[in-house]
A and B are shown apart, each in its own frame.
Chain A
Amino acid sequence: MNIKKTIKGKKMIIALDGKLDTNTAPQLEAAIREGEDSITVLEFDFANLQYMSSAGLRVLLSAQKIMNNQGEMIIRNVSGEIMDIFDITGFIDIFNIKK
């Protein structure tokens, strides 16, 4: 999985390309950790994300909890397959998912 991180002022945008699984989720966690203190918006771009297991959901949930305290988290460009995962796990109601 490739992680592309862009910081614009108080906003951090993370674009993922590939599979967010048990082995790659720690990389995303580390990328979020680095820089989360100074941001008020955390935005994910999932346009090129093909797959997500519960390990990925855990990282997103902990990011959501952090951002609830200091701003907002947005997820964009979610594919049908990933949306199904958010749906069955109830995360569809927790995450701010935008087109």
Chain B
Amino acid sequence: MVNRVNKKEQLTVDAKTDNLEQVLDFINEQIELCDCSMKVQIQIDIAVEEIFVNIANYAYQDKIGQAEVQTEIQEDPLTIFITFIDSGIPYDPLAKEDPDTTLSAEDREIGGLGIFMVKKSMDNISYEYKQGHNILTLQKALV
């Protein structure tokens, strides 16, 4: 692992759901080097899917724009930081109210579940809008 300390990688793709597989492959390549549990890998994949699909569906409305995905792996404790950058409309997914998870099937709403799963499974999420870019970073310990 020593030679992977502070390893950084990045991928830029068109923000389209067709590219989800490519983004997940890119992320999983980084995670698989770290020998983390299947549970953590699935949590990270879900979080990446939710964030990327959100950008693909909403950031550029009807136009096609780009999404940049950066990963950084730090040691002690082994942690991955995944940053999504797009230049679409300003959108802070963290501002969305959490769904009420105690309601019955009839009363449950379809929306808001994805970001809620991300909030619950990641160690930290930060969002900023800076110089025309949405910048969202996920942090998760690879244990």
Chain A contacts to B: CB under 8 angstroms: 21-23, 50-55, 57-58, 61-62, 64-65, 68, 80-81, 84-85, 88-91, 93-94
Q: Are A57 and B42 in contact (CB under 8 A)?
A: no
Beyond contacts A23-B18, A62-B110, A94-B108: 10 other A-B pairs, Cβ-Cβ < 8 A, are A21-B20, A51-B45, A53-B46, A53-B117, A54-B117, A55-B49, A55-B114, A65-B105, A84-B39, A89-B113
Contact among A50, A54, A61 for B108, CB-based, below 8 A: A61
Write the B108-132 contact mask toward A (1 if CB under 8 angstroms, else 0). Answer: 1010011011001100000000000
Q: Are B120 and A58 in contact (CB under 8 A)?
A: no
Which B residues are in CB contact (< 8 Å) with A50? 42
A-B contact count (CB 8 A): 66
Name A60's closest neighbour in chain B (CB-CB). Answer: B105
Bound: A58/B45 CA distance, A: 17
Interface of B is mostly: helix
Interface residues on B, range: 20 to 34
Is B66 an interface residue when CB atoms closer than 8 A count as contact? no
Is B72 an interface residue when CB atoms closer than 8 A count as contact? no
Q: Are B38 and A64 in contact (CB under 8 A)?
A: no
Q: Are B113 and A64 in contact (CB under 8 A)?
A: no
Q: Are A89 and B101 in contact (CB under 8 A)?
A: yes
* Distance in Å: Cβ of A72 to nearest Cβ of chain B: 12
Of the A-B pairs whose beta carbons lie under 8 Å apart in the complex, a sample of 9, sorted by A's number, is A22-B20, A52-B46, A53-B114, A54-B50, A54-B114, A85-B46, A88-B101, A88-B121, A94-B105
Name A65's closest neighbour in chain B (CB-CB). Answer: B105
Bound: A21/B114 CA distance, A: 11
Which A residues are in CB contact (< 8 Å) with B45? 51, 53
